Amino acid sequence: MTMIYPASTPQPGELLIRSWQRSQTFGLQRHHTADPCCLSPAELRRRQQRHRHLLSLLQKAMPLFEQWQQGRHCRLLFADAEGTILLSTGDSRFGDRARRLALATGARWHEQTMGTNAIGTALLEQQEVSVLGEQHYMHANGTISCSASPVFSPAGELLGVIDISSEAGEHSTDMLLTARLMALTMENALVSEQQDACWLVSLASDAAGLQQPWSALIALREDGRLLGANRRARQWLPRLDPAALLRQLRQGELTPWGEGMALLSRKPAPARPRPQADHSPEAAALKLLNHGVPLLLQGETGTGKDHRVRRLHRQSRRAQGPLVAVNCGALPAELIEAELFGHAPGAFTGSHKAGRTGYVRAAHRGILFLDEIGELPLAAQTRLLRVLQEKTVVPLGCHEPEPVDFCVIAASHKNLATMVAEGRFREDLYFRLNGYTLTLPPLREYTRPAFEQLVEQLLNELHGEHCRLAPGLMARLYACPWPGNIRQLRQVLEVAGILADGGMIELHHLPGLPTPGEAKPAVQDLKTTTEQRIRQVLAECDGNVSEAARRLGISRTTLYARLKAPR
């Protein structure tokens, strides 16, 4: 077939000619629009999770990419053995062009659908390749240049490919070298990790090359049996007797071998970390909870009280029992006691014909979480105190007390001690609930290390360990006011990770990100929005405060307070 390129485009070698011939055989039309298959977000996350170890090794090799390509407008891509891009990171300016060309996570760049391209061609040929500008089979991809190197397992299995892409006029020959070195670094890490390996043997043409990424590396058992090798070592395996080489090397760590040198090193046994006592407030809370001591969580709205309770439940001795969460502020005032303590069939007009278990009995052998406990009316506080003291409950319409076994965690964004002083909360109930207070600070009081740890934890929970922030963004996030605390931060990161296709989160993935100077307006906007929503629901209920409170999920007391607050 005839291949015509501009004078500025290097003429192809045999590898690219074979690729163009395959593209033609696949029935692809050079001037048609390139349209790669794309995974759904759910399938992409599953595939990224399946390759999480490879992606973590790639993250460790990232300094090599950043050192060599610093300041260049290029992107680093990693695709699996099917050509599906699982990671896309690098320069944000070229990132916009890359996304338009579908060089984004989830896109599949196999030759069968995309023609000659560095990812697909490197996979089929199982060797490194550069595809420059118009060397791409599809004309639509002629504005970019790409260099790719395959990654192999210690057994020689093709795992994926590392690709560096840029604008066609900005590509450099050292981009292929960078991709190759990153692939070799990952392969060597995989060889070194071989289970049951006791010895690592490095082979090179001279002593200076023994510790370099391009040296041949093999992993051996104690008896000399071969467990794995990198690509350079596999070239020598047909003429290599690993057991004989091991016997020779044991006489001295460095030995002349063939036309080069061999270096033997014992693989270090994995260190057993010494368990360290955890003296954090949460660890203390868990220890006390396991001994039946009630916990009180205090903190502003959005500081993660419900998330903390779920974590305590998972780690506690009652993890196999239920976690029953009750929003005390959302309970209908006239049904609070029936909801909490249950009732017998037909106990009162309008009651459920079959009766109700009630939240307290439902928490038997588990944990009862009373959120917004400060909203509980005094009458219900009195009955709750008796239940906590006696560990028995008498449902409405019944006469015999039933024993219940549960631990209690209460939470409130209000200062309960102040409410006690003002006579709005029972002092004896306060002391019964306050066996240990765990105060959750607002996000604005987090130290920089604690904030970074939280962001990384949230990103991992939401999108997996492959998702991370672009350089400089962490400082930008830390400087924001976050009036909605962790809840607001979590939502921002969730949206950003989706927009970034689970890869590198950059500034344009954070629409509407507040700035330090926007703190006061942000709070005012939140207050105004809340007031508007309350009055809207109240109008829909024709002024019925009880019905409006039920729809809003707050108590009538809270609703009255909102309505009376100065505007």
Look at residues 427, 360, 346 and name the one whose alpha carbon lies nearest to residue 390. 360
The verdict on 103 and 31 lying in the same domain is yes
Alpha carbons within 13 A on the beta-carbon side of 138 = 23
Rounded Cα distance between 43 and 99, Å, is 19
- Could you give the percent of the chain with pLDDT greater than 90? 33
Judge contact between 463 and 44, C-beta under 8 A.
no
pLDDT at 6: 42
**How far apart, in whole angstroms, are the C-alpha atoms of residue 216 and residue 231?**
7
Separation between Cα atoms, residue 38 and residue 31, nearest integer Å: 21
Give the length of the chain.
567
The answer to whether position 481 is within a domain reads yes
Residue that the structure tokens 């629009």 belong to: 33
Q: In terms of DSSP bridges, do strands 216-220 and 226-229 run parallel, antiparallel, or are they unpaired?
A: antiparallel
Backbone dihedral angles phi then psi of residue 213, each to the nearest 5 degrees: -60, -25
d(CA 506, CA 469): 6
The two tokens of residue 468 are 């991370």
CATH of the domain at 349: 3.40.50.300
Start-to-end CA distance of the chain, whole Å, equals 77
With 0-12 CB in 10 A as exposed, 13-18 as middle and 19+ as buried, what is 353? exposed
In this structure, are 369 and 456 located in the same domain? no
Tell me the sheet residues that pair with 160.
80, 151
Mark whether 423 and 287 lie in a shared domain: yes
Per-residue pLDDT band at 548 (split at 50, 70, 90):
confident
Is there a single domain that holds both residue 96 and residue 161?
Answer: yes
Does 9 fall in a domain?
A: no
Classify 190 as helix, strand or coil: helix
Regarding whether 128 and 42 lie in a shared domain, the answer is yes
Decide: 210 and 263 in contact? Cβ < 8 Å: yes
CATH number, domain at 478? 1.10.8.60
Residue 129 lies in a domain: yes
DSSP string computed for 548-560: HHHHHTS-HHHHH
Single residue among 439, 467, 489 that ends a domain in this structure: 439
The backbone region for 304, taken as left when phi is positive above 0, alpha when psi lies in -120 to 50, beta otherwise, is left
Q: Are 111 and 117 in contact (CB under 8 A)?
A: yes
Same-domain check for residues 65 and 21 = yes
Structure tokens at 126: 């199982």
The model's pLDDT over 263-297, given as tens digits with 9 standing for 90+, comes to 878 777 665 555 566 678 888 999 999 999 999 99
Judged by average pLDDT, the poorest of 449-453, 472-476, 528-532 is 528-532
Residue 139: domain span: 14-192
* Three-class DSSP category at 40: coil
Q: pLDDT by residue (tens digit) across 228-265?
A: 999 988 887 877 788 888 887 877 667 776 667 778 78
Name residues whose C-beta falls within 8 Å of residue 170's C-beta, 6 or more positions apart in sequence.
72, 73, 74, 145
**Helical H runs in 193-267?**
231-236, 242-249
Q: Residue type for 163, please? A: D
Residue 432 φ then ψ, to 5° = -70, -40
The proportion of the chain whose per-residue pLDDT surpasses 70, expressed as a percent, equals 84
Of 192, 221, 245, the domain-final residue: 192
**Residue 2 covered by a domain:** no
pLDDT in tens, 425-441: 999 999 999 999 998 98
Same domain, 399 and 463: no
Mean pLDDT, range 505-523, rounded to an integer: 63
Domain boundary among 214, 241, 266: 266
The CATH code of the domain that includes 540 is: 1.10.10
Q: Which parts of 167-280 fold into alpha helices (H)? A: 174-192, 231-236, 242-249
Half-sphere exposure of 164 (CA within 13 A, CB side): 30
Q: Could you tell me how many helices (H) and strands (E) the chain has, helices first?
A: 23, 19
Same structural domain, 126 and 161 = yes
Structural domain count of the chain: 5
In a domain, 271, yes or no: no
For residues 81 and 224, state if they share a domain: no
Alpha-carbon distance of 62 to 55, in angstroms, equals 10
Identify whether residues 260 and 218 lie together within a single domain: yes
Average pLDDT over residues 19-29: 93
Is residue 8 domain-resident? Answer: no
Whether the predicted model's global pTM rises above the 0.75 cut: no
Identify whether residues 183 and 44 lie together within a single domain. Answer: yes
Could you read off the pLDDT of 134-153 as tens digits, one per residue?
Answer: 999 999 899 899 999 999 99
Return the pLDDT at 24.
93
Same domain? For 103 and 81 the reply is yes
Any residues with CB less than 8 A from the CB of 97 and at least 6 apart, and which? Answer: 143, 144, 167
